[in-house]
Amino acid sequence: MSVTLTAPSPGRVFGSGIRRREDPRLLTGTAVFTGDFTLPGQTYAAILRSPHAHARIRKIDTGRAKAAPGVIAVFTGADSDATLKPIPCAWLIPNSDLKPAPYRPMAKDTVRFVGDAVAVVVADSAHQAYDALELIEVDYTPLPAVVDPQKATEAGAPQLHAEAPGNVAFHWTVAGGDIDAAFKSAAVVIRDRIVQQRLIPTAVETRGAVAQYVPATGELTLWNTTQNPHIVRFIMSVVTGVPEDRLRVVAPDVGGGFGSKIAQIQGDFITAFCAMTLGRPVKWVETRTENYVSTTHGRDHVQDVELAATKDGRILGLRATVWAGMGGYLSTAAPGIPTILHGLMLSGPYQIPAVKEDVYGVYTTTTPVEAYRGAGRPEATFMLERLIDLLASEVKLDPVEVRRRNLIPAFENGHAVVTGLSYDSGNYQGALDKAIAHIGYESLRKEQAAARAKGRHLGIGISMYVEICGLGPSQVAGAVGFQGGLWESAIVRFHPSGKVHVFVGISPHGQGEETTFAQIVADELGVAVTDVKVVHGDTDNTPMGWGTYGSRATAVGGAALAVATRRIKDKARLLASHLLEAAVEDIEYAAGKFFVRGSPDKAKTIQDIALMANVAWNLPQGMEAGLEASSFYDPPNFTFPFGTHIAVVEVDPETGHIEVKRYVAVDDCGHQINPMIVEGQVHGGVVQGIGQALWEHCVYDQNGQLLTGSLADYAVPRADVLPDIEVLSTVTPSPHHPLGVKGIGEAGTIASTAAVYNAVIDALAPFKVRAVQMPLTPERIWRATGGRKGA
Amino acid sequence: MKVPITVSVNGRAHAAEVEPRLLLVQFLRDVVGLTGTKIGCDTSQCGTCTVLLDGVAVKSCTCLAAQADGSAVTTVEGLAATGVLTPLQDAFWEKHGLQCGFCTPGMLFAAHELLRTNPNPSPEQIRHGLEGNICRCTGYQNIVRAVQAAAAAGGRA
């Protein structure tokens, strides 16, 4: 072979914080998001939404809207009902008496939340569509509303669905150990009621879709801002009846998700229906106020919790009853969140011999609840970390000491916990020690005492967590009722020039896998990162994937990619052995070169091999042409990242003002592919969790009207109210993962709410304040302290 | 009734007849066809639509297209027109000041405005200067670092 290509010097890029490959297009306005698409013959949809939380629809008059300028069509639920099936719930948790009620893409007889879709206008322009919306007349008979998930289960509460008496969508229980014995023998029992307030995820790009239907072929293409385009194809096919082979879903650049772009929502199906009916492309993009009522919310738990312990602070058992608001209908993954992702993580990083939790999923006349960053795990971590601080206070021990007495000792390969899970690896003490050393815990306590003496109120809050991610073994997914697999797939394709295309099933929306996945390939195969193009998001040219959520994209998708690259290497080694005329056992590989053992100058680069494999002039007998491999990776277990966060706050009891003065995060996500990206994930996650502790609250009034229906009312954290976050890490590789990675997308959010909350309550210790409802607004703090300067 | 306007966008004159209610951001996206400027809310809170209007940063959802008649607008597409990133763009890249990138065009112009009026801001001044723009991904920390780096390099947008 006379043609050779120079191998770039790859170095080791796994583990280095290189600049992201996706950034140039995002920095120059050339990235294309769903709302940026305009197709030939484009039309625009606007959706009429219920102003009532609960009402019967008596009559809809669309006559005037149909006659308005530019209007092409107006449809109601009566029009779409024959075509569109109800939106399926896709996480049917077993042994829970689950009662999914029909969730229509457009309501027909009854609306069950403010924002429930009632009609749609399609017009030549968006302005004309919105103008015509105001001409639709709907005659409603209002019905009583109920927004509190616990109250919705009480006798006499308004009933949402005939299928679910008492509004209970499911009742799920997790139990392990002898919980009755634990409480019987306990010297100390701590009780609390925790309200995990409802939150609005608020991705800065709202939801939207552009649908194009070709009547002659029956093909539907949907550009959709989603975290999981392949699941969209699957569910869209079920609802619209368009077969999967004629359905193409494209997730172009996606402007954040945080769980709010997992579920398929009404607008997606309505947009598809309009395009199918009219044979013209239809675009629908939510306004922000529409987003706040129509796209899913998060959290919304009422928790009654009890902790049994010895008088020296050792935990004996944890018992809880949770009412989890589901909203008016069960969203795609909703039932799995307060159960599998919450209840199974109840024991956290601690040795807890017995747990029992009853979870009631409850219909309320509110926007459906779904995953929001952390999804179930923040609600578990907060519960535990609150109870441990209350325990510390009760037994008069330092909160760090109580944690130390209960931690699971370090382990490298498997630790069974009381809920039935087996954690993969952990060194919880290590993360705690590092955080305490970094922040200077002992001297901080002295500083706090000195400040108190002068009438200043510092607080120190600790939060330890272990979370479940890398979802997950498909067999387990099936056993817990997830209506799909949870494996991932990847294809690695070498071109003759040695450049590489990678096609993956996962679909990032800000997490940077176009870079980190290129780093995996570069490191495994000795090519430059800039020679690897990662393709994702289009169901027509990428292999199946189950989505980017639950911190699973790198943990599972990255593993699939690693396996595929190793298959490439196996084939390349065979070809190198042939070209170098040496036995395959004698071929060694290092840094992009295959060479004969003992003769490093007798070598072929991966680029040499790629060229020969592609031209196929000289292959060993029986070898197929091309250098390409695919893999389907089904993980043997979940991954369990962990860490310790510490917040330091100062509270002004006279005004209720809280300042977060320092924030230290020690996270362990195993090996880090790109530490710069890991740090960025921690920053963003921590801030979302601080947001829950201090500012964010999705508020409904008793009639089910959303009072925080815009960004003027819902308090998303802004730059001027946040501290710099000090990010550290420990490294405990996952023993079962091909790259030893675990996942980092949600860790910050899981840990930070409790860290900040605990710090505030610690600051208020002189006032004997035991609990304040989140978010910890100045008014609530002021009321808790009575506006006194000192105790 | 429509209003005739001429707006210079990134150095090119665009003449159009527009409805009086048309917002500048809608003019840029739907009439001129430059979709780099984003819309993230409907109450002028998020700042994703921030552009330069005659050299001053404005939220282009707070300005009617008709009000921009005769003015010069710079959008994100006009920043690296020669293919070379500006110091601020480069600093956002280097410091990982963006994740999903949806808020980035507006954030670049908010940062530009800050540096225009205060070439050497402290981290606190940067945080204050960016409080009109929402980023849900980064927690702002790396955006602050990026603006600091661009300031140190003497750069604007």
A306: which 2 tokens?
A: 């009890």
Structure tokens at A733: 């590789």
Rounded Cα–Cα distance for residues A2 and A716 (Å): 61
In a domain, A157, yes or no: no
Q: Are residues A27 and A54 in the same domain?
A: no
Cα dihedral A362, A363, A368, A370 in deg (nearest 10): 20
Provide the CATH number for the domain around residue A117: 3.90.1170.50
Ranges of residues in chain A with a pLDDT under 70 are 1-11, 790-791
- pLDDT bin (cut points 50, 70, 90) of residue B1 is confident
pLDDT at A1: 30
Widest pairwise Cα distance in chain A: 87
Residue B32's closest CA among B89, B74, B63, B94? B74
B45 touching chain A per CB within 8 A: yes
Q: What mean pLDDT is reported for chain A?
A: 96
Is B81's pLDDT higher than 90? no
Q: Best interface-test mutation with B: which of A20, A26, A199, A660 has the largest number of B CBs within 10 A?
A: A26
* Cβ contact A783:A791 at 8 Å: no
For residues A44 and A27, state if they share a domain.
no
The number of residues in chain B equals 157
Q: Return the amino acid letter for B16.
A: A
Instruction: Check B134 against A253: CB less than 8 A apart.
Output: no
Q: What is the mean pLDDT of chain B?
A: 96
- A726: β partners: A664
- Written as one string, the DSSP assignment of A667-681 is EE-BS-S-HHHHHHH
Cβ separation B35–A36 shorter than 8 A: yes
pLDDT at A788: 78
- Compute φ and ψ for A657, nearest 5 degrees: -70, 140
Same domain, yes or no: A75 and A27: no
What are the pLDDT digits (tens) for B7-53? 999 999 999 999 999 999 999 999 999 999 999 999 999 999 999 99
Query: What is the dotted CATH code of the domain comprising B3-75?
Result: 3.10.20.30
Residues of chain B contacting residue A35, judged by C-beta atoms under 8 Å apart: 35, 39
**Contact state of A19 with B76 under an 8 Å Cβ cutoff:** no
Question: Are A490 and A631 contacting, i.e. CB atoms less than 8 angstroms apart?
Answer: yes
Which chain A residues have a beta carbon less than 8 Å from that of B140?
A: 683, 687, 718-719, 722
Domain count, chain A: 2
Q: How far apart are CA A525 and CA B70, in angstroms?
A: 56
Q: How confident is the model at residue B124, as a pLDDT?
A: 98
pLDDT at B112 over 70: yes
Three-state secondary structure readout of A137-198: EEEEEECCCCCCCCHHHCCCCCCCCCCCHHHEEEEEEEEECCHHHHHHCCCEEEEEEEEEEE
Range of the domain at A77: 36-145+207-286
Which pair of structure tokens corresponds to residue A561?
């990619």
The whole-angstrom separation of Cα A416 and Cα A424 is 9
- A747-763 vs A377-395: helix crossing angle, rounded to 10: 30
Q: What is the CA radius of gyration of chain A?
A: 28
User: Considering the domain boundaries, does residue A69 fall inside one?
Assistant: yes
What is the number of CB-based contacts under 8 A between chain A and chain B? 179
Which overall architecture, per CATH, does domain B87-152 show?
Orthogonal Bundle (1.10)
User: Are A27 and A67 in a shared domain?
Assistant: no
Q: Search chain A and give the residue with CA nearest B108.
A: A27
CB B146 within 8 A of CB B104: no
Q: Check residue A10 and give its pLDDT.
A: 39
Contact yes or no for A24 and B93 at CB 8 A: yes
Are the Cβ atoms of A254 and B100 closer than 8 angstroms? yes
For residue B42, the chain A residue with the least C-alpha distance is A288
Residue A446 lies in a domain: no
Cβ of B136 within 8 Å of Cβ of A26? The answer is no
> The tokens of B125 are what?
């001044």
- Which residues have a Cβ under 8 Å from the Cβ of B33 and sit 6 or more positions away? none
B19: contact with A, CB 8 A cutoff:
yes
What's the gap between Cα A452 and its chain centre?
40
Closest CB to B105: pick one of A29, A718, A725: A29
Q: Does the pLDDT of residue B156 top 60, yes or no?
A: no
Let me know whether A27 and A105 are in one domain.
no
Strands A110-111 and A219-224: unpaired
In 10 A of CB A385, how many CB atoms?
25
Residues A122 and A232 in one domain: yes
Q: Give the residue ranges of DSSP H helices in chain B.
A: 24-26, 87-94, 104-117, 123-129, 141-152
Instruction: List the CATH number of the domain containing A562.
Output: 3.30.365.10
Nearest to A718 among B39, B126, B134 (CB): B134
State yes or no: pLDDT of B155 exceeds 90: no
- Whether residue B102 and residue A205 make contact (CB cut-off 8 A), yes or no, is yes
d(CA A351, CA A348): 8
Task: Determine the 3-state secondary structure of A21 from DSSP.
Answer: coil
> Both A27 and A92 in a single domain?
no
Instruction: Please indicate whether, in this complex, the C-beta atoms of B35 and A206 are within 8 angstroms of each other.
Output: no
Closest A-chain CA to B47: A204
Do A27 and A111 have their domain in common?
no
In this structure, the answer to whether residues A613 and A503 fall within a common structural domain is yes
Smallest CA–CA distance, residue A206 to chain B, in Å, is: 7
- B80 lies within 8 A of chain A by CB: yes
- What 3-state class would DSSP assign to A727? strand
Cα(A497)–Cα(A608) distance, integer angstroms:
9
Residues A506 and A607 in one domain: yes
Closest chain A residue to the Cα of B138, Cα to Cα: A684
Are the C-beta atoms of A638 and A472 separated by less than 8 Å?
A: yes
Mean pLDDT of B92-110: 98
Inter-chain touch A724–B21, beta carbons under 8 Å: no
Tell whether A320 is covered by a domain: no
Residues in CB range of A78: below 8 A, 6 or more apart: A60, A108
Which of B101, B142, B144 lies at the smallest CB-CB distance from A26?
Answer: B101
Angle at A301 (CA atoms; ends A299, A306), nearest 5 degrees: 130
Chain B residues touching residue A512 (CB < 8 angstroms) = 99
Domain boundary among A251, A268, A286: A286
Nearest CB neighbour to B40, from listed A205, A258, A686:
A205
| Same domain membership, residue A118 and residue A27 | no
Whether B123 sits inside 8 A of A724 (CB atoms) is: yes
Q: Which of A37, A204, A514, A721 to probe by mutation at the B interface, max B CB count within 10 Å?
A: A204
Q: Which of residues 680-719 of A touch B (CB under 8 A)?
A: 680, 683-688, 710-712, 716-719
- For residues A364 and A159, give the distance between their C-alpha atoms in angstroms, rounded to a whole number: 9
Question: Is residue A585 located within the same domain as residue A494?
Answer: yes
The answer to whether residue A207 neighbours chain B at the CB level (below 8 Å) is: no
Nearest residue in chain B measured CA to CA from A18: B94
Nearest by CB to residue B40, choosing from A288, A289, A510, is A288
Domain boundary residue among A257, A286, A315? A286
Asked if A746 and A373 touch (Cβ cutoff 8 Å), the reply is yes
Q: Would the CB atoms of A202 and B79 count as touching at under 8 Å?
A: no
* Model confidence, pTM: 0.97
Separation between Cα atoms, residue A42 and residue A285, nearest integer Å: 13
Name beta bridge partners: A44: A123, A283
Last residue of a domain, one of A614, A633, A652: A633
Sequence spans of domains, chain B: 3-75, 87-152
Residue B71 touches chain A, beta carbons under 8 Å: no
CB A400 within 8 A of CB A439: no
Residues of A in contact with B122 (CB under 8 A): none
